């Protein structure tokens, strides 16, 4: 990957502001913290949840497991998920936060409200029939008349509770999204060859089934450095309590 961005912080305030600037209606759905994986903390997440974004460490063990997984799927002739599943490849270093947001929203366009002439509206319209690789190439080199994402991403990377790392610094954290499609739980990671099927789920059980995947990630990578966010439908009380500007 030749092009490189400063990574975005795994922070719902940052992602909500970013998504809103790109044309997403934050009043209907918003990114929310998942504070833990036990039942009491999961119950605090607004409902319904339509996507989960997972931030996790890229350890040597994870890289080995990822490579083996890709080879096994290729050997089995795996072609990916259903045609209705929106999946794209990552072509820009440190763009995994943006890819996670695109996967979360792109698989919920039937629920999302997008602003006319916004980046999201143009991007999803233009890439609807593209392959995952072509979607990644579009993000890397958008048409001259398309809205530019570089400036918006750079601005989002300057926000958050911690100072952004220097552009040249290696980052060993990575985002992936978990969504429901056709009754299955799909892991969407732009650095993997395919969407990964994690078994049956439903709109009602997506959060709990995604929590199970997160627990398995923690066990497989032998690390507890994980952050989870949900794309969920907050009520007005939640918007006010968490200072989410839906206007």
Which residues are designated catalytic? Answer: 96, 174
| 221 CA to centre of own chain | 20
- Closest residue by Cα to residue 80 from 196, 224, 232, 235: 196
CA-to-CA dists, residue 29 to 14, 36, 55, 113, 162, angstroms:
15, 20, 20, 9, 25
What are the tokens at 190? 């732009």
What are the tokens at 154? 């750079």
Size (the chain), residues: 247
CA distance 25 to 113: 5
Tokens 């892991």 identify what position? 187
CA distance 163 to 209: 33
Residue 57, SS3?
Answer: strand
Cβ atoms of 8 and 15 within 8 Å: the answer is: yes
| 64 CA to centre of own chain | 22
């Amino acid at each position: 990957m030749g092009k490189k961005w400063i990574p975005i912080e795994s922070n719902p305030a940052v992602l909500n502001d970013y998504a809103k600037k790109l044309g997403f209606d934050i009043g209907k759905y918003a990114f929310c913290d998942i504070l833990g994986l036990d039942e009491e903390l999961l119950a605090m997440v607004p409902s319904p949840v339509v996507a989960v974004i997972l931030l996790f460490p890229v350890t040597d063990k994870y890289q080995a497991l990822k490579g083996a997984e890709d080879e096994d799927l290729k050997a089995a002739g795996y072609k990916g998920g259903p045609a209705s599943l929106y999946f794209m490849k990552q072509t820009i270093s440190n763009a995994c936060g943006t890819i996670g947001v695109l996967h979360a929203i792109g698989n919920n366009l039937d629920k999302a409200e997008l602003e006319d002439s916004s980046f999201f509206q143009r991007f999803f319209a233009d890439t609807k029939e593209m392959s995952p690789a072509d979607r990644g190439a579009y993000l890397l080199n958008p048409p001259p008349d398309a809205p530019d994402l570089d400036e918006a991403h750079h601005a989002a990377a300057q926000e958050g509770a911690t100072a952004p790392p220097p552009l040249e610094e290696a980052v060993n954290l990575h985002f992936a999204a978990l969504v429901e499609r056709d009754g299955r739980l799909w892991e969407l990671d732009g650095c993997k060859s395919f969407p990964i099927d994690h078994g049956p789920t439903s709109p009602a059980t997506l959060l709990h089934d995604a929590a199970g995947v997160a627990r398995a990630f923690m066990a497989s990578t032998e690390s507890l450095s994980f952050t989870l966010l949900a794309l969920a439908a907050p009520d007005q009380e939640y918007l006010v309590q968490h200072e989410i500007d839906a206007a």
